Amino acid sequence: MPPTGSDPGRDEIKSRIQGLIDSSEVLVFSKSYCPYCVKVKDLFKQLNVKCNVLELDLMDDGSHYQDTLLEMTGQKTVPNVFINKTHVGGCDKTLQAHQDGLLKQLLDGESYDFDLIVIGGGSGGLACSKEAALLGKKVMVLDFVVPTPRGTTWGLGGTCVNVGCIPKKLMHQTALLGTALQDARNFGWQFEETVKHNWETMKTGVNNYIGSLNWGYRVQLREKSVNYVNSFAEFVSPHKIKATNRRGKETFHTAAKFVLATGERPRYLGIPGDRELCITSDDLFSLPYCPGKTLVIGASYVALECAGFLAGLGLDVTVMVRSILLRGFDQDMANRAGEHMEDHGVKFLRKFVPTSVEELEKGTPGRLKVTAKSTETDEVFEGEYNTVLIAVGRDACTGTIGLDKAGVIVNKKNGKIPVNDEEQTNVPHVYAIGDILEGKWELTPVAIQAGKLLARRLFGGATLKCDYVNVPTTVFTPLEYGCCGLSEDKALEVYGPENIEVFHSLFWPLEFTVPGRDNNKCYAKIICNKQDNDRVVGFHYLGPNAGEVTQGYGAAMKCGMTKDQLSNTIGIHPTCAEIYTTMEVTKSSGGDIAAAGC
Ligand code: FAD
Ligand code: NAP
């Protein structure tokens, strides 16, 4: 059974057990009266091998050792045998290993090729492999990018660097610069020529920077003596993988422990024309031509961010929304972010889903006809676009990596991997981190933190676990939305309306005033738990530099920030972030929240 929380006593015993595993050639957890334990001890006696035996029935905290062993190895019964840091198992497994010759291999110390093999060289996998190598372990990391249906592929570093956060934020910045250019005239800048955007120049600049990051990661792995292999990995048995490179050459590698960090790839719709004619975010950031009039299908992070920057480059953009914007986020905030996009020219086709995409004309870009149907009526929509960007979610890359051969359980419905609070799967020597985890955040810093802490626990005697609560995040829509903690709806559900107080305010960033744009469109909101000293359980910000603003308040929430503490904090003037130090109007009062000035 997975552990339910961090227990200092248990953590202490765990680190004692880990110390014994690390320092013993042969370690046997036993009970003095158990006949199976006697068999195993006799075997080692016959082999003339000295073992470190712990008779749990003769120890005061023996039962706690047994519980912790269950957590660490999935096995509660004794004997429980380790040889040269490798978990062998109980009596039957030890005798079998003796028969197979594996026991001798383990005793000779030639057990596995690596202490750790990490499958996937993205945010989580790189962080974990580098940390494990720093702790003196022999580590291999495998990374392989399966090309998109259009043939797009990229280098080392995973989604964030190549087809996620980095190119997305740079293209968002490109769009912000366009707005800044318009603002600049109001601030007195004079330029005669018509301002135009060149897709090719932006794409080349962004991709050159990505190339430098890809190279940097390879250098870091080499410097830290991590064995990097550019091959696709799949399990062939619980401790062995097959690695297949681009040319189809296969090699085999074994390890004592494995970390799965294979991430996700964009999902397709399963309608005629989707794979052949449409693109996803995996193609967009290196598209060799300007996409032109674009239909974005989907309404979450990826869809709204891409739609936002494409519109900011001056393109005609429509977002096809199946139900709501930004499912899972505070809906009040999501709708305000959407309204701002709509005010700035993005079209929203609500309550429609696509049924087919046909090619009208080839080209770069060509012309496509999209047919869609209403989710509420019999209405059918037809539209023509140059590019259709599918952004309807992402699928975990867990279906083709031989997890059945390793015995790892996967949630069949969504391909996600369930883990305990130490990122351990149901197979004790296999761990998983990042986007493939069930019920966890799909964010780069989360994958990195989980990977780094996992390596420290596995190989550095550390006990600190990744904290998945109150993770700050930002959606880089044209007006950015940052948040941490609960949405208003969730807070009402968890604490009840009578226990919640919401403070909120509209505001007008100083830099928007002279150009006279977006007056009172920015919005700040905190949700407080009245029963707990008005502790802030939800933080929401819609305005410029949302990531920068939210990061600091995220740290404050980790320290237990209350409304009083916010009010006692002196603001930095003139900034947007200072709004939280002066917010006095409660939502329940219905008071005026429009800002009179900046
Ligand atoms: P990944 O980074 O996806 O890495 C997995 C790697 O494993 C990939 O290189 C993959 O090719 C490789 N692989 C898969 N299977 C195998 C195999 N069998 N053998 C070898 N290699 C394999 N997060 C943020 O925090 N901020 C953002 O602004 C942000 N923006 C995003 C924008 C977009 C468009 C997208 C799509 C995502 C964004 N994310 C953002 C999410 C972020 O990119 C992911 O949460 C993060 O990359 C997850 O890291 P990971 O290590 O789990 O997987
Ligand atoms: P997502 O959060 O799973 O959202 C999928 C979207 O597609 C939803 O709007 C959904 O609508 C819609 N959809 C699903 N199936 C559809 C269909 N058949 N037809 C039409 N619409 C459909 O996916 P995502 O945007 O790809 O994001 C994946 C993850 O990446 C996120 O969870 C996030 O953690 C990470 N990410 C982070 C950032 C960031 O930090 N700034 C940016 C991008 C991505 P319904 O609501 O109707 O289901």
Give the Cα separation of 165 and 172 in Å (integer).
Answer: 10
- Residue 5: the pLDDT is 42
The verdict on whether 172 is a catalytic residue reads: no
Q: How confident is the model over 177-189, as a mean pLDDT?
A: 96
pLDDT of residue 194: 83
In tens, the pLDDT along 394-414 reads: 999 999 999 999 999 999 999
Q: Which amino acid is at 87?
A: H
Which CATH superfamily groups domain 274-392? FAD/NAD(P)-binding domain (3.50.50.60)
Q: How far is the CA of 326 from the centre of ligand 2 (A)?
A: 7
| Atom in ligand 1 nearest the alpha carbon of residue 232 | 19
Of 458, 446, 413, nearest in space to 257 by CA: 458
Mean local confidence (pLDDT), 229-240: 96
Q: Which CATH superfamily is domain 479-582 in?
A: FAD/NAD-linked reductase, C-terminal dimerisation domain (3.30.390.30)
Is the pLDDT score of 6 beyond 80? no
Domain residue limits, the chain: 10-107, 115-266+395-459, 274-392, 479-582
Q: Residue 412 contacts by C-beta under 8 Å, 6 or more apart in sequence? A: none
The residue whose CA has the least distance to atom 14 of ligand 1 is: 262
Interval 565-575: pLDDT, tens: 999 999 999 99
Query: What is the whole-number distance in angstroms between the Cα of residue 392 and the centre of ligand 2?
Result: 5
376-397 mean pLDDT: 98
Strand order in the sheet with 347-350: 279-280, 387-390, 294-297, 317-321, 347-350
CATH class of the domain defined by 115-266+395-459: alpha beta
Mean pLDDT of 318-333: 98
Q: Percentage of residues in the chain with pLDDT exceeding 70?
A: 97
Determine the residue of 165, 433, 475 to mutate for testing ligand 1's pocket, defined as the one with the most ligand atoms within 8 A of the Cβ atom.
165
- Contact of 136 with 459, CB cutoff 8 Å: yes
291 ligand 1 Cβ < 6 A: no
Q: What is the pLDDT of residues 424-439, one digit of tens each?
A: 999 999 999 999 999 9
Tell whether ligand 2 has an atom less than 6 A from the beta carbon of residue 417. no
Indicate the average pLDDT of the chain.
Answer: 95
Any residues with CB less than 8 A from the CB of 269 and at least 6 apart, and which?
Answer: 278, 297, 354, 390, 392
| Domain 115-266+395-459 matches domain 479-582 at the CATH topology level | no
Q: Return the CATH class of domain 10-107.
A: alpha beta
C-beta of 117 in contact with ligand 2 (< 6 A): no
